Amino acid sequence: MKGLMTYEDYQLLLKGDLGKYYEGRWEYFKEVIDIIKSEKIESVLEIGPAQEPIVKNCDVMIKPEDDMWGRPKNEFFQKEYLYDATEKPWPIKDKQYDLLIALQVWEHLDNKQSRAFREVMRVSKKAILSLPYMWDCPRDSRNYPAHHMLDEEIIGDWTLNVKPEKIIKIPRTGHEVSKGPRIIYFWKF
């Protein structure tokens, strides 16, 4: 198994240019890391990892256009797919990855979440998604509407109502809307 993000790695992210973005994220990062540690995982694809993936030296899928949240440095990943996850088919073989990770990404897939989830099931044996959960976003906020009031029913629609192995709810980590509760889903396909 490849190395995993450590608390020390996370602390370095907090000191970087996007430190404010990463505040409060360790609470769900550590839950994802615990899931990974409990599974037999060799190959990992992480979608939209911002500045550093959870699994060191995994493969990453990053949208082709510039991303305001940054991109991981080359030292943090092996293979890079510059690809829009809402387009299919993904340029990946069936069951190529033991695990697919997408943390706080799914809500940004422009109403093509279920289409992308079909590709998740095709290319991976297991998957972890984290999403904002029940955020009450003001209409004039940059968090609206993508993050607004996502609940289990919406997430079920986006994930084809495939029953997960595990669901973990993470409480609010700060006062801002963007530090609201999160929910983690883990599947085995």
Report yes or no on 1 lying in a domain: no
User: How high is the pLDDT of residue 73?
Assistant: 81
CA distance linking residue 83 with residue 94, whole number of Å = 17
Instruction: Look at 16-20, 39-43, 86-90, 166-170 and tell me which has the smallest mean pLDDT.
Output: 16-20
User: How high is the pLDDT of residue 97?
Assistant: 98
Residue 26, domain CATH: 3.40.50.150
CA distance linking residue 146 with residue 139, whole number of Å = 11
Q: Span 157-174, mean pLDDT? A: 97
Predicted confidence (pLDDT) per residue in 23-54, tens digit: 999 999 999 999 999 999 999 999 999 999 99
Please name the residues in contact with 11: beta carbons below 8 A apart, sequence gap of 6 or more.
Answer: none
pLDDT range class, residue 66, cuts 50, 70, 90: confident
User: How high is the pLDDT of residue 149?
Assistant: 96
Is 1 a residue whose pLDDT tops 70? no
Report yes or no on 173 lying in a domain: yes
Domain extent, residue 94, equals 7-188
User: How high is the pLDDT of residue 65?
Assistant: 82
Q: From residue 36, give the alpha-carbon distance in Å to each of 55, 97, 101, 185.
A: 9, 13, 10, 12
Report yes or no on 179 lying in a domain: yes
In the chain, the number of structural domains is: 1
| Element spanning 80, H or E | strand 77-82
Q: Span 155-181, mean pLDDT? A: 96
Report yes or no on 97 lying in a domain: yes
pTM of the full structure:
0.95
State which of 48-52, 159-163, 174-178 shows the largest mean pLDDT: 159-163
User: How high is the pLDDT of residue 76?
Assistant: 85
Report yes or no on 2 lying in a domain: no
Average confidence score pLDDT of the chain: 94
Predicted confidence (pLDDT) per residue in 121-160, tens digit: 999 999 999 999 999 999 998 889 999 999 999 999 999 9
